[in-house]
Structure 1
Amino acid sequence: MTSKNFLLTSLFCALWGIGISGSVLAESQTPPALESLRNLNAEAPTRRALNIQRWQTAEGARVLFVEAHELPMFDLRLTFAAGSSRDGTLPGLALMTNALLNEGVADKDATAIAQTFEGLGAQFSNGAYRDMALVSLRSLSATEQREPALALFQQVVSQPSFPADALERIRNQLLAGLEQQKQNPAKLASLELFSRLYGQHPYSIPTEGTFESLPRIDEAQVRQFHQQGYAAGNLVIALVGDLQRSEAEQIAAQLSAVLPKGPALPALPEPQAPVAGRYQVEYPSQQTHVLMAQLGIRRTDPDYAALYLGNQILGGGGFGTRLMEEVREKRGLTYGIYSRFSPMDAPGPFSISVQTRAEQTEGTLALIQKLVQDYLAEGPTQEELDRNQREITGSFPLSTASNADIAGQISNIGFYNLPSSFLEDFTRQIQQLTVQQVKEAMQRHLSPEQFVIVTAGPKVAQQPLPEPSADAPKAEPLGVPEH
């Protein structure tokens, strides 16, 4: 191994808080250039400093800009508050509108649009989610590539033609996807969970639409949604790359000027607390999907860092978490079990997901409930806290490793009205948190009695769980995970 390759290996290991194998050391015959994070006295590794510049266009679009001249390119991300939570009585409307943007403009069809971007070395992407709709462009920053790429991008976002044949094709694709969902127990469980968790709140709306709603969506409704959801006042513009401030201002101003005129859409309502309970989705299978959830937090919650750290210890960090250790490693009940907070504009869910043998569903569920109850009551250990603080602060620099990563970070900062110092604040808060603070934050926001539980699988006779083993579990998970 060359010294350069060894340095890269050492850097990766240091960032992720892991050691370097003996075989690497033997081959190198030199000590590692970087030490493990255990020897950094809890100090965060150096990460890319960001100077986030912010302003607002005349039409009300919020702009966040980071100059980065290392590469001759730039990333542009538009974030509209136009996700499925704005669908109203037509689930799937936000997704269809977003998918149709690059299907045609006045002088180009979808093929010509794709070929033009490709010929300029530019990349276009888009997507719609519960909170937001995204449209992104990556382009070379040289004028001869930048200007035509931006011109087409502006046309696609502001003046899509919504061709009838494309609308029918996308509708049929979504309907076909709904048919496929009938064979996906994990998706069926997720749909049932969001329906039970959010009731009449807009977050209960299926992003992909329904069999009843998709046939009712026509061109007029898509155009109306575009007029309101893709208005300049409903937009956050994130720009990162090889641009001067004056160039960024010009790009943002031109984009904002050509979009529909209109204000930001109203804030989403507060969801009502769901009724805790257990719900079964019948599905013929050898395994059962188990989803547990309760209302979590908004993206702006001051406990965000403490909850992020607390969840990494519980089940968000993969191997080494409480849930993974007890459910997989000691008992072999699953290939993987994960927990997560999904903070959004309104309180998003805290969820736990696992897939296990159908005959061990009840025992696995009871075990998870007991693990969560004990964790909320006792909090993490100091060793768990120290290890996860090292891992989070060590890996966090990777979240701003590329211009696209930075564009994603600052678009979220703008969309959720977070301070420009959010990234620095987050790492500092993670480092300073104590066991007691993490425990109290988790207790403030979670209750072991408030879970909405959905299981998707068959009703079969149940078997007792195997005893925990410090060695290999007595029973391995059945087959590969389904779907």
Structure 2
Amino acid sequence: MSKRKGLTLLGLALIALLGALAFVAYRLDSTASAETAAPAPAQGLQSLAELNGNAPSRRTLDIQSWTTAEGARVLFVAAPELPMFDLRLTFAAGSSQDGATPGLATLTNAMLNEGVAGKDVTAIAEGFESLGAEFGNGAYRDMAIASLRSLTAAEQRKPALELFTQVVGAPTFPEDSLARIKNQMLAGFEFQKQNPGKLAGLELFEKLYGTHPYAHPSEGNEKSIPGISVAQLRDFHQKAYAAGNVVIALVGDLSRADAEAIANQVSSALPKGPALAKMPVPEPPKAGLSHIEFPSKQTHLMLAQLGIDRNDPDYAALFLGNRILGGGGFGTRLMEEVREKRGLTYGISSGFTAMQAPGPFMIGLQTRAEMSQGTLKLIQDIVRQYLADGPTQKELDDAKREVAGSFPLSTASNADIVGQLGAIGFYGLPLSYLDDFMAKVQTLDTAQVKAAMAKHLDPDQFVIVTAGPTVTQKDLPPPTDKPADMPSGVPEH
């Protein structure tokens, strides 16, 4: 069944805003072994008795890779356990490729399944649904994706693939659909004006990235969207959805021959063309604080600085270091000091978003307006102390156990695996990357984590944006095991 017949207002807003504001580090990927021709053996459930207090074993993957005649890179994992397959196309067609037209990439992606020759959006949706297939798509800063889940039986697989290749390779971009989706996006921009957290996030990216392609929101803005034409969508599709600009990830009940046939069918249906240029490295931003006046009881606090790209050799050390600082939920330093001991927020988190070019390191929370300045200083002090001292041995050991324990979940489903393959291919990581990553995490010591965090973060270089009312400030409560009360309201996500 189709995941959407047309983008609803809320759905479109969420897709775009997630790309604009996300600051949680990439979830741990699955493991991968070297490329071979044999499919991975089926694995059954592991009983608790067999674990004997150890972390569950991870699903063994056998990643095979090749390149189609048109230049598309393919990554494939055979998974015969279920009679279905997942196909994911990852294009370097995110909003960083918008050029002078913010929102072009998001609008192009949103229009893919609005029409093909002989079928409108309803017919496309009904076509997938009648086959028990699912179509999905989305556009973000670095990438745009299109996905298909289908049964592998020929009577479902062949027509599902035929419809999918039409949708991705030859969309018609009907004018009536374009007008409808533009209206939905414009309504979404009006909604953003009532959301202080979204306003803060948008300004933060502008301050952090300046003139870099990552600076503008993925969904564009109320000035750019109305003027985008069907001709512009077609031109963008022709260059950004080209076969040389895509990674094809396949996971499921398929032989190598089946996978090659599917990859060839998809690749040949796409426009012909090379990969687009990689993103340039952004200029370092000017540190400082900006405030957005907004009538509310709480203030949104966002702190950021440039982080790393996805290929940085310090990625594993930073992943582990941030998990201790604020990326691991309860038990992190930020949660312990800001929420647990003082009751200043429902939640606070930090994270590196590693991208083609250096992505942001961000810390975000909501707190009582009258304590916002004190809370901000507290966060800066926590970061400063952590960078100066590094993690304790206990913190490091606990974080390593958490990573090892959660790692098997990263290969729990074919959908998880196909997304991970797409990331490996898109960011040019080695097929052994996930195995290498886990091995690296487990060998890190406190000195290495401290050095990596101090190398990439500077407590005096935060770009800070706050959104809330200007009110008389109060002193922070002293730390205690039982804070008096929590901030009013539920935090926005």
Tell me the TM-score normalised to structure 2 length: 0.89
How far residue 267 of structure 1 moved from its aligned partner, in angstroms, is 1.1
How far residue 32 of structure 1 moved from its aligned partner, in angstroms, is 6.4
> Which one of the candidate residues 460, 463, 482 is aligned to 1:449?
460
How far residue 334 of structure 1 moved from its aligned partner, in angstroms, is 0.2
The answer to whether 1:382 aligns with 2:398 is no
> Which one of the candidate residues 172, 178, 182 is aligned to 2:193?
182
Aligned to 1:480: 490
The answer to whether 1:281 aligns with 2:292 is yes
How far residue 72 of structure 1 moved from its aligned partner, in angstroms, is 0.3
For 1:482 and 1:325, the matched residues in 2 are separated by: 20
Any gaps of 5 or more consecutive residues in structure 1? 1-30
How far residue 482 of structure 1 moved from its aligned partner, in angstroms, is 4.7
C-alpha distance after superposition, 1:259-278 (max 9, x if no partner)? 11110001111100000000
Read off the aligned partner of 1:345 and give its amino acid letter.
Q
Matches within 5 A, 1:23-172: 33=49, 40=54, 45-172=56-183
Aligned to 1:229: 240
Aligned with 1:339: secondary structure? Answer: strand
For 2:323 and 2:279, the matched residues in 1 are separated by: 28
> Which one of the candidate residues 417, 421, 424 is aligned to 1:413?
424
How far residue 216 of structure 1 moved from its aligned partner, in angstroms, is 1.0
Any gaps of 5 or more consecutive residues in structure 2? 1-46
C-alpha distance after superposition, 1:257-308 (max 9, x if no partner)? 1111110001111100000000001111110000000000000111111100
The answer to whether 1:391 aligns with 2:402 is yes
Aligned with 2:138: secondary structure? Answer: strand
Aligned to 1:217: 228
Aligned with 1:204: secondary structure? Answer: coil
C-alpha distance after superposition, 1:23-61 (max 9, x if no partner)? xxxxxxxx962667xx54xxx641111111011011111
Aligned with 1:64: secondary structure? Answer: strand
C-alpha distance after superposition, 1:411-441 (max 9, x if no partner)? 0000000010111111111111111111111
The answer to whether 1:436 aligns with 2:447 is yes
For 2:101 and 2:216, the matched residues in 1 are separated by: 9
For 2:264 and 2:163, the matched residues in 1 are separated by: 16
For 1:248 and 1:324, the matched residues in 2 are separated by: 46
Read off the aligned partner of 1:473 and give its amino acid letter.
P
The answer to whether 1:269 aligns with 2:280 is yes
Query: Contact 1:313/1:380 (CA < 8 Å) preserved in 2?
Result: yes
> Which one of the candidate residues 398, 410, 415 is aligned to 1:404?
415
For 1:476 and 1:413, the matched residues in 2 are separated by: 41
Aligned with 1:183: secondary structure? Answer: coil
* Change in CA separation of 1:482 and 1:263 when aligned onto 2, cut-off 3 Å: closer
For 1:474 and 1:356, the matched residues in 2 are separated by: 14
Aligned to 1:310: 321
Query: Contact 1:87/1:205 (CA < 8 Å) preserved in 2?
Result: no
For 2:115 and 2:205, the matched residues in 1 are separated by: 34
For 1:47 and 1:85, the matched residues in 2 are separated by: 35
For 2:50 and 2:188, the matched residues in 1 are separated by: 48
Aligned with 2:214: secondary structure? Answer: helix
Aligned with 2:191: secondary structure? Answer: helix
Cα RMSD (Å):
1.2
For 2:151 and 2:265, the matched residues in 1 are separated by: 18
Aligned to 1:258: 269
For 2:51 and 2:178, the matched residues in 1 are separated by: 56
For 2:197 and 2:486, the matched residues in 1 are separated by: 21
Q: Which has the higher Rg, Structure 1 or Structure 2? A: 1
How far residue 474 of structure 1 moved from its aligned partner, in angstroms, is 1.8
Question: Which has the larger displacement, 460-469 or 426-435?
Answer: 426-435
Aligned to 1:196: 207
For 2:109 and 2:85, the matched residues in 1 are separated by: 22
For 1:76 and 1:481, the matched residues in 2 are separated by: 35
Aligned to 1:8: none
For 1:476 and 1:68, the matched residues in 2 are separated by: 47
For 2:326 and 2:78, the matched residues in 1 are separated by: 37
Aligned to 2:337: 326
For 2:356 and 2:489, the matched residues in 1 are separated by: 39
How far residue 478 of structure 1 moved from its aligned partner, in angstroms, is 1.9
Aligned with 2:489: secondary structure? Answer: coil
> Which one of the candidate residues 303, 317, 342 is aligned to 1:292?
303
Aligned with 1:137: secondary structure? Answer: strand
Aligned with 1:344: secondary structure? Answer: coil
C-alpha distance after superposition, 1:68-123 (max 9, x if no partner)? 10000000000000000001111111011000000011111111111110110100
> Which one of the candidate residues 359, 362, 383 is aligned to 1:348?
359
Read off the aligned partner of 2:121 and give its amino acid letter.
A
* Change in CA separation of 1:101 and 1:32 when aligned onto 2, cut-off 3 Å: closer
For 1:52 and 1:373, the matched residues in 2 are separated by: 42
For 2:171 and 2:51, the matched residues in 1 are separated by: 53
Aligned to 2:16: none
Query: Contact 1:393/1:430 (CA < 8 Å) preserved in 2?
Result: no
For 1:407 and 1:380, the matched residues in 2 are separated by: 34
Query: Contact 1:233/1:261 (CA < 8 Å) preserved in 2?
Result: yes
Query: Contact 1:82/1:229 (CA < 8 Å) preserved in 2?
Result: yes
How far residue 185 of structure 1 moved from its aligned partner, in angstroms, is 0.6
Tell me the TM-score normalised to structure 1 length: 0.91
For 1:168 and 1:474, the matched residues in 2 are separated by: 52
Read off the aligned partner of 2:490 and give its amino acid letter.
V
Aligned with 2:303: secondary structure? Answer: strand
Identical residues among aligned pairs (%): 67
C-alpha distance after superposition, 1:188-226 (max 9, x if no partner)? 000000000000000002111111101110100000000
Aligned with 1:240: secondary structure? Answer: strand
- Number of positions where the alignment pairs a residue of Structure 1 with one of Structure 2: 447
For 1:128 and 1:248, the matched residues in 2 are separated by: 25
Aligned with 1:74: secondary structure? Answer: strand
Aligned with 2:248: secondary structure? Answer: strand
C-alpha distance after superposition, 1:209-259 (max 9, x if no partner)? 111101110100000000010000000000000011011111111111111
Aligned with 1:202: secondary structure? Answer: coil
Aligned with 1:338: secondary structure? Answer: strand
